[in-house]
């Protein structure tokens, strides 16, 4: 199992647009084969910074999602609102 964290900084006027995109697609991402759940978090001090945290069965499952039409639709909309380059980390549990 892996955890994927993505930090996204949006234009201040576009934060609500991202919330709409996420709310409209969260259930479809959660239902994607190999996804064990995705949540979004908003930075308490910077209202235009969000983090998605998702759990995946494997890196292959994550890559399948990243190559999917669903990802293309979600990311294609969200990227229009970025104010900075997104950052992403793929983590495994343990040391």
Question: Could you give all domains of the chain from N- to C-terminal order, each with its CATH number?
Answer: 2-92 (3.30.70.100)
Q: Which SS3 state, helix, strand or coil, does residue 70 take?
A: helix
Enumerate residues 6+ apart whose C-beta is below 8 A from 81. Answer: 10, 11, 14, 17, 18
**Where would I find the H helices in the chain?**
15-30, 59-66, 69-78
Question: pLDDT tens per residue, the chain (95 residues)?
Answer: 999 999 999 999 999 999 999 999 999 999 999 999 999 999 999 999 999 999 999 999 999 999 999 999 999 999 999 999 999 999 998 86
Q: What are the phi and psi torsion angles at 79 (to 5°)? A: -65, -20
DSSP 47: T
Res 94: pLDDT: 84
What is the pLDDT at residue 19? Answer: 95
User: What is the C-alpha separation between 83 and 91, in angstroms, rounded?
Assistant: 25
């Amino acid at each position: 199992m892996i955890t994927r964290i993505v930090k996204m900084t949006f234009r201040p006027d576009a934060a609500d647009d991202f919330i709409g995109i996420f709310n409209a697609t969260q259930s479809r991402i959660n239902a994607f084969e190999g996804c064990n759940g995705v949540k979004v978090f908003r930075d308490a001090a910077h209202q235009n910074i969000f983090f998605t945290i998702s759990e995946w069965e494997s890196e292959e499952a994550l890559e399948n999602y990243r190559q999917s039409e669903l990802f293309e639709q979600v990311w294609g909309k969200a990227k229009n609102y970025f104010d900075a380059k997104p950052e992403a980390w793929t983590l495994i549990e343990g040391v």
